[in-house]
A and B are shown apart, each in its own frame.
Chain A
Amino acid sequence: AQSVTQLGSHVSVSEGALVLLRCNYSSSVPPYLFWYVQYPNQGLQLLLKYTSAATLVKGINGFEAEFKKSETSFHLTKPSAHMSDAAEYFCAVSDRSGATNKLIFGTGTLLAVQP
Protein backbone atom coordinates (compact mmCIF):
# COMPACT_ATOMS: atom_id res chain seq x y z
CA ALA A 1 0.00 0.00 0.00
CA GLN A 2 1.10 3.51 -0.67
CA SER A 3 1.95 5.87 2.14
CA VAL A 4 3.52 9.22 2.83
CA THR A 5 5.62 10.27 5.81
CA GLN A 6 6.23 13.88 6.71
CA LEU A 7 9.08 14.31 9.16
CA GLY A 8 8.49 17.10 11.61
CA SER A 9 4.96 18.10 12.52
CA HIS A 10 6.18 21.60 13.37
CA VAL A 11 8.95 23.57 11.68
CA SER A 12 9.99 27.09 12.66
CA VAL A 13 12.22 29.31 10.56
CA SER A 14 13.23 32.95 10.60
CA GLU A 15 12.01 35.28 7.91
CA GLY A 16 14.49 35.13 5.03
CA ALA A 17 15.81 31.70 5.99
CA LEU A 18 15.63 28.52 3.93
CA VAL A 19 12.47 26.48 4.22
CA LEU A 20 12.85 22.68 4.03
CA LEU A 21 9.83 20.45 4.60
CA ARG A 22 10.46 16.73 4.32
CA CYS A 23 8.32 14.12 2.61
CA ASN A 24 9.12 10.46 1.99
CA TYR A 25 6.83 8.11 0.15
CA SER A 26 6.33 4.40 -0.07
CA SER A 27 5.09 2.99 -3.36
CA SER A 28 5.72 -0.09 -5.44
CA VAL A 29 5.65 1.98 -8.62
CA PRO A 30 6.78 5.57 -9.25
CA PRO A 31 3.86 7.62 -7.96
CA TYR A 32 2.40 11.00 -8.64
CA LEU A 33 3.34 13.35 -5.79
CA PHE A 34 1.77 16.56 -4.62
CA TRP A 35 2.35 19.34 -2.12
CA TYR A 36 -0.65 21.26 -0.84
CA VAL A 37 -0.78 24.29 1.46
CA GLN A 38 -3.54 25.10 3.92
CA TYR A 39 -3.87 28.58 5.36
CA PRO A 40 -5.84 28.98 8.61
CA ASN A 41 -9.54 28.22 8.25
CA GLN A 42 -9.25 27.51 4.54
CA GLY A 43 -9.25 24.54 2.24
CA LEU A 44 -6.16 23.04 0.62
CA GLN A 45 -4.47 24.69 -2.33
CA LEU A 46 -2.06 22.98 -4.70
CA LEU A 47 1.55 24.21 -4.49
CA LEU A 48 3.09 21.84 -7.02
CA LYS A 49 2.96 18.30 -8.37
CA TYR A 50 5.32 15.70 -9.81
CA THR A 51 4.09 13.63 -12.73
CA SER A 52 7.46 12.47 -14.13
CA ALA A 53 8.09 15.26 -16.66
CA ALA A 54 10.99 16.66 -14.62
CA THR A 55 12.45 15.71 -11.26
CA LEU A 56 12.73 19.34 -10.10
CA VAL A 57 9.26 20.84 -9.93
CA LYS A 58 8.59 24.53 -9.47
CA GLY A 59 5.38 25.67 -7.86
CA ILE A 60 3.63 28.80 -6.75
CA ASN A 61 4.94 31.34 -4.25
CA GLY A 62 8.59 30.44 -4.91
CA PHE A 63 8.36 26.85 -3.68
CA GLU A 64 9.97 23.92 -5.42
CA ALA A 65 10.43 20.20 -4.78
CA GLU A 66 12.77 17.58 -6.10
CA PHE A 67 11.76 13.99 -6.76
CA LYS A 68 14.55 11.62 -5.71
CA LYS A 69 13.69 8.04 -6.54
CA SER A 70 16.79 6.62 -4.83
CA GLU A 71 15.76 8.29 -1.57
CA THR A 72 11.98 7.92 -2.12
CA SER A 73 11.74 11.58 -1.21
CA PHE A 74 9.93 14.68 -2.42
CA HIS A 75 11.10 17.44 -0.09
CA LEU A 76 9.67 20.95 -0.41
CA THR A 77 12.00 23.95 -0.34
CA LYS A 78 11.95 27.71 -0.60
CA PRO A 79 15.16 29.76 -0.51
CA SER A 80 13.82 32.62 1.59
CA ALA A 81 10.84 32.37 3.93
CA HIS A 82 8.24 35.09 4.07
CA MET A 83 5.81 35.76 6.87
CA SER A 84 2.97 34.90 4.52
CA ASP A 85 4.35 31.33 4.17
CA ALA A 86 3.13 30.46 7.66
CA ALA A 87 0.63 27.66 7.06
CA GLU A 88 0.25 23.90 7.18
CA TYR A 89 1.77 21.89 4.35
CA PHE A 90 0.66 18.47 3.21
CA CYS A 91 2.46 16.00 1.00
CA ALA A 92 0.28 13.53 -0.89
CA VAL A 93 0.77 10.52 -3.17
CA SER A 94 -1.47 9.17 -5.90
CA ASP A 95 -1.32 5.73 -7.44
CA ARG A 96 0.06 5.93 -10.97
CA SER A 97 -1.17 2.49 -11.87
CA GLY A 98 -4.76 3.03 -10.83
CA ALA A 99 -7.62 4.29 -12.91
CA THR A 100 -8.72 6.64 -10.18
CA ASN A 101 -7.13 9.67 -8.61
CA LYS A 102 -7.35 8.96 -4.89
CA LEU A 103 -4.75 10.77 -2.81
CA ILE A 104 -3.03 9.54 0.34
CA PHE A 105 -2.01 12.47 2.52
CA GLY A 106 0.75 12.83 5.06
CA THR A 107 -0.05 14.11 8.52
CA GLY A 108 1.10 17.63 7.68
CA THR A 109 3.83 20.04 8.75
CA LEU A 110 2.93 23.32 10.40
CA LEU A 111 5.37 26.01 9.31
CA ALA A 112 5.92 29.01 11.57
CA VAL A 113 7.90 32.00 10.32
CA GLN A 114 9.51 34.19 12.95
CA PRO A 115 10.21 37.87 12.26
Chain B
Amino acid sequence: IAGITQAPTSQILAAGRRMTLRCTQDMRHNAMYWYRQDLGLGLRLIHYSNTAGTTGKGEVPDGYSVSRANTDDFPLTLASAVPSQTSVYFCASSPGLAGNEQFFGPGTRLTVL
Protein backbone atom coordinates (compact mmCIF):
# COMPACT_ATOMS: atom_id res chain seq x y z
CA ILE B 1 0.00 0.00 0.00
CA ALA B 2 1.57 3.27 -1.13
CA GLY B 3 -0.54 5.64 0.98
CA ILE B 4 -0.07 9.05 -0.60
CA THR B 5 2.13 9.72 -3.57
CA GLN B 6 3.16 13.12 -4.89
CA ALA B 7 4.77 14.06 -8.18
CA PRO B 8 7.13 15.47 -9.07
CA THR B 9 9.59 15.10 -6.20
CA SER B 10 11.16 18.40 -7.09
CA GLN B 11 10.86 20.99 -9.83
CA ILE B 12 12.54 24.18 -10.92
CA LEU B 13 10.12 26.46 -12.72
CA ALA B 14 10.42 29.78 -14.50
CA ALA B 15 8.22 32.56 -13.21
CA GLY B 16 5.00 32.90 -15.18
CA ARG B 17 4.81 29.24 -16.10
CA ARG B 18 1.88 27.02 -15.22
CA MET B 19 2.52 24.02 -13.00
CA THR B 20 0.39 21.20 -11.61
CA LEU B 21 1.47 19.23 -8.59
CA ARG B 22 -0.06 15.80 -8.45
CA CYS B 23 -1.34 13.95 -5.40
CA THR B 24 -2.89 10.50 -5.27
CA GLN B 25 -4.05 8.46 -2.28
CA ASP B 26 -5.11 4.83 -2.16
CA MET B 27 -6.72 4.80 1.28
CA ARG B 28 -10.19 5.86 0.07
CA HIS B 29 -10.07 8.85 2.41
CA ASN B 30 -12.81 11.41 2.01
CA ALA B 31 -10.76 14.49 2.83
CA MET B 32 -7.60 15.78 1.19
CA TYR B 33 -5.44 18.82 1.84
CA TRP B 34 -2.61 20.84 0.35
CA TYR B 35 -0.09 22.60 2.58
CA ARG B 36 2.99 24.63 1.92
CA GLN B 37 5.93 24.52 4.32
CA ASP B 38 8.23 27.50 4.67
CA LEU B 39 11.10 27.96 7.10
CA GLY B 40 9.89 29.51 10.34
CA LEU B 41 6.24 29.42 9.31
CA GLY B 42 5.39 25.77 9.75
CA LEU B 43 2.72 24.30 7.49
CA ARG B 44 -0.03 26.48 6.11
CA LEU B 45 -3.18 25.15 4.50
CA ILE B 46 -3.67 26.19 0.87
CA HIS B 47 -6.84 24.34 -0.16
CA TYR B 48 -8.79 21.38 1.06
CA SER B 49 -11.51 19.02 -0.05
CA ASN B 50 -13.91 17.33 2.37
CA THR B 51 -15.17 14.92 -0.27
CA ALA B 52 -14.98 14.32 -4.00
CA GLY B 53 -16.61 17.15 -5.91
CA THR B 54 -16.08 19.79 -3.22
CA THR B 55 -13.18 22.09 -2.42
CA GLY B 56 -12.50 24.92 0.00
CA LYS B 57 -9.97 27.66 0.60
CA GLY B 58 -7.42 27.44 3.35
CA GLU B 59 -5.21 30.05 4.93
CA VAL B 60 -3.11 30.92 1.84
CA PRO B 61 -5.15 30.13 -1.30
CA ASP B 62 -4.15 33.02 -3.56
CA GLY B 63 -2.37 31.94 -6.73
CA TYR B 64 -3.42 28.31 -6.37
CA SER B 65 -6.37 26.25 -7.57
CA VAL B 66 -7.47 22.66 -6.94
CA SER B 67 -9.97 20.19 -8.25
CA ARG B 68 -11.35 16.95 -6.84
CA ALA B 69 -12.90 14.96 -9.65
CA ASN B 70 -12.64 11.67 -7.78
CA THR B 71 -11.75 10.32 -4.35
CA ASP B 72 -8.13 9.46 -5.09
CA ASP B 73 -6.69 12.52 -6.84
CA PHE B 74 -6.27 16.09 -5.68
CA PRO B 75 -4.05 18.13 -8.04
CA LEU B 76 -2.79 21.59 -7.12
CA THR B 77 -2.28 24.07 -9.94
CA LEU B 78 -0.22 27.24 -10.02
CA ALA B 79 -1.64 29.16 -12.98
CA SER B 80 1.26 31.61 -13.25
CA ALA B 81 4.06 30.84 -10.83
CA VAL B 82 5.81 33.58 -8.87
CA PRO B 83 9.03 33.37 -6.82
CA SER B 84 7.10 33.66 -3.54
CA GLN B 85 5.57 30.28 -4.34
CA THR B 86 8.98 28.67 -3.87
CA SER B 87 8.28 26.19 -1.09
CA VAL B 88 7.86 22.57 -0.17
CA TYR B 89 4.32 21.37 -0.85
CA PHE B 90 2.68 18.55 1.08
CA CYS B 91 -0.48 16.74 0.25
CA ALA B 92 -2.39 14.99 3.03
CA SER B 93 -5.53 12.94 3.43
CA SER B 94 -7.77 11.81 6.26
CA PRO B 95 -11.04 9.94 6.72
CA GLY B 96 -12.46 13.40 7.25
CA LEU B 97 -14.11 13.30 10.64
CA ALA B 98 -12.96 15.76 13.27
CA GLY B 99 -10.18 14.24 15.34
CA ASN B 100 -8.93 11.95 12.60
CA GLU B 101 -5.23 12.16 11.90
CA GLN B 102 -3.99 13.36 8.55
CA PHE B 103 -1.61 11.22 6.53
CA PHE B 104 1.06 13.08 4.60
CA GLY B 105 2.79 12.50 1.31
CA PRO B 106 6.56 12.87 0.84
CA GLY B 107 6.34 16.40 -0.52
CA THR B 108 7.27 18.31 -3.67
CA ARG B 109 10.09 20.84 -3.52
CA LEU B 110 9.26 23.66 -5.92
CA THR B 111 11.63 26.46 -6.86
CA VAL B 112 10.31 29.37 -8.92
CA LEU B 113 12.98 31.53 -10.53
- Seen from chain A, the residues whose Cβ lies within 8 Å of a Cβ on chain B are 9, 32, 34, 36, 41-46, 49, 51, 90, 94-108
Chain A proximity of B66: nearest CB distance (Å): 14
- Residue contact A100 to B50, C-beta cutoff 8 Å: yes
- Residue contact A42 to B106, C-beta cutoff 8 Å: yes
Chain B residues, Cβ within 8 Å of A41: 107
Which of these, B42, B92, B94, B101, contacts A106 with CB under 8 Å?
B42
Main secondary structure of the interface of A (DSSP, over half): loop
- Residue contact B98 to A103, C-beta cutoff 8 Å: no
- Residue contact B90 to A44, C-beta cutoff 8 Å: yes
In the bound assembly, the distance between CA atoms of A100 and B90 in angstroms comes to 19
Tally of B interface residues using CB under 8 Å: 30
Other A-B pairs, 16, CB within 8 Å; known A34-B101, A49-B99, A99-B98: A42-B106, A44-B43, A44-B104, A45-B104, A96-B99, A98-B98, A99-B50, A100-B31, A100-B56, A101-B31, A101-B96, A101-B97, A101-B100, A102-B33, A105-B42, A105-B44
- Seen from chain B, the residues whose Cβ lies within 8 Å of a Cβ on chain A are 4, 31, 33, 35, 40-45, 48, 50, 56, 58, 90, 92, 94-107
- Residue contact B42 to A95, C-beta cutoff 8 Å: no
Which of these, B31, B100, B105, contacts A43 with CB under 8 Å?
B105
Chain B residues, Cβ within 8 Å of A106: 42
In the bound assembly, the distance between CA atoms of A100 and B96 in angstroms comes to 6
Chain A proximity of B44: nearest CB distance (Å): 8
- Residue contact B42 to A90, C-beta cutoff 8 Å: yes
Which of these, A95, A97, A99, A103, contacts B102 with CB under 8 Å?
A103
- Residue contact B58 to A102, C-beta cutoff 8 Å: yes
- Residue contact B90 to A94, C-beta cutoff 8 Å: no
In the bound assembly, the distance between CA atoms of A72 and B98 in angstroms comes to 20
In the bound assembly, the distance between CA atoms of A103 and B44 in angstroms comes to 9
- Residue contact B48 to A102, C-beta cutoff 8 Å: yes
Given A44-B90, A45-B104, decide whether A101 and B42 contact each other with a Cβ distance below 8 A. no
